[in-house]
């Protein structure tokens, strides 16, 4: 094979790769319209192993691999975001996160945010809760009730009792 044939072969490969990339972006772009719901679009992104940037009503941004979707929560990178707090999803706009989400962060389709938080009571990782209005509390989950999450907050004072409905996002470390 001479140099001209090699260059032509490389050009064909680049063209095919660019076409596949554009086709993939079109498929992801159609996910929301085909799914009919935001949760459906997020499930499609998770099943495709896609990344996204997700904005919330509290003004926070979660970016990374769309790991999974539960009944009222989506896991994006190392964050759990309440579905009804999601305002904008931009598929493919985030670079892949090295290492991905912590182990155990792939919710079952029926899992709720409170169930995920309840699973943290025993192992007690540090986390940060963002609530409606943008306030952030960090510490360890002590208890989860039907409408309240108790967090042993960092800093002075006792525990903080957080209205479960006010939680917009959970950043989990490890």
Q: In the structure encoding, which two tokens stand for residue 110, read together?
A: 């029926």
Of 140, 131, 122, nearest to 168 by C-alpha is: 131
Tens digit of each residue's pLDDT (9 = 90 or more) over 111-160: 899 999 998 887 778 899 999 999 999 999 999 999 999 998 777 778 99
Determine the pLDDT at residue 103.
Answer: 44
Q: In the structure encoding, which two tokens stand for residue 162, read together?
A: 């957080």
Report yes or no on whether pTM surpasses 0.85.
Answer: no
Mean pLDDT of the residues in the chain: 81
Determine the pLDDT at residue 27.
Answer: 58
Averages of pLDDT over runs of 10 residues in the chain (174 residues) are 58 66 60 72 92 95 94 94 96 62 52 91 85 93 94 82 96 77
User: In terms of CATH architecture, what is 3-172?
Assistant: Roll (2.30)
Of 117, 47, 36, 48, nearest to 82 by C-alpha is: 117
Domain chopping of the chain, boundaries? 3-172
């Amino acid at each position: 094979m001479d140099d001209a044939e090699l260059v032509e072969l490389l050009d064909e490969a680049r063209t095919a790769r660019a076409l596949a990339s554009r086709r993939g972006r079109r498929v992801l772009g159609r996910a929301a319209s085909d799914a009919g719901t935001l949760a459906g679009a997020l499930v499609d992104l998770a099943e495709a192993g896609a990344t996204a940037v997700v904005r919330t009503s509290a003004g926070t941004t979660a970016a990374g691999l769309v790991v999974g979707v539960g009944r009222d929560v989506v896991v994006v990178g190392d964050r759990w975001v309440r579905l009804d707090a999601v305002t904008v999803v931009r598929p493919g706009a985030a670079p892949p996160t090295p290492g991905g989400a912590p182990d155990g962060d792939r919710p079952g389709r029926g899992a709720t945010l409170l169930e995920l938080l309840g699973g943290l009571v025993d192992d007690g990782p540090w986390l940060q809760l963002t609530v409606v209005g943008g306030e952030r509390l960090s510490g360890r989950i002590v208890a989860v009730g039907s409408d309240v999450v108790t967090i042993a907050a960092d800093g002075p004072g006792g525990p903080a009792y957080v209205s479960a409905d006010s939680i917009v996002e959970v950043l989990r470390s490890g």
